[in-house]
Amino acid sequence: MTNIKPNSIEAVMFFALYICAQDKKIAKEEKKELILDIQVMRKLYFDIYGEFIDDNFKEVINSIDIDDKTLKPFISKTIIEKEKVFISNLLTDPKIQDIAILAARHSASADGFHKLEKKKFDYWLETWDL
């Protein structure tokens, strides 16, 4: 998922998958939940930006795994500076941050909310003051 436009649906999907990957796997259940959330995300994105997104995100989501070159460096027990900068620049709009948090929580909980997923989730929740 290289070249992700800030505050885009792709950015929201990346964030959700990034949270899901913290336990060193992205379960099928997590991807399935994220795919189900796509319609809601499209609607929210349209309401916020007035842009309709018509893309096949199911294929994108199913193609991502923990070896994705953009995702892999951020799978760890600690939050590194490069990770903070990347995610902060990826999701700058508070409304989109809300959507990303909701999508991440919903998808990461699909197979149980692992403590490492929760740790990064809580960091961003606090950082974005949500």
Q: What is the pLDDT of residues 101-124, one digit of tens each?
A: 999 999 999 999 999 999 999 999
pTM across the whole model: 0.89
Among candidate residues 45, 41, 39, the one with its CA nearest the CA of residue 16: 41
CA distance 104 to 87: 13
Q: How far is CA 16 from the centre of its chain?
A: 2
| Rg of the chain in Å (alpha carbons) | 13
pLDDT one-digit tens code per residue, 2-33: 678 999 888 999 999 999 999 999 999 999 99
CA distance 4 to 84: 16
Angle at 117 between CA 114 and CA 118, to 5 degrees: 85
Do 52 and 42 form a contact (C-beta atoms < 8 A)? yes
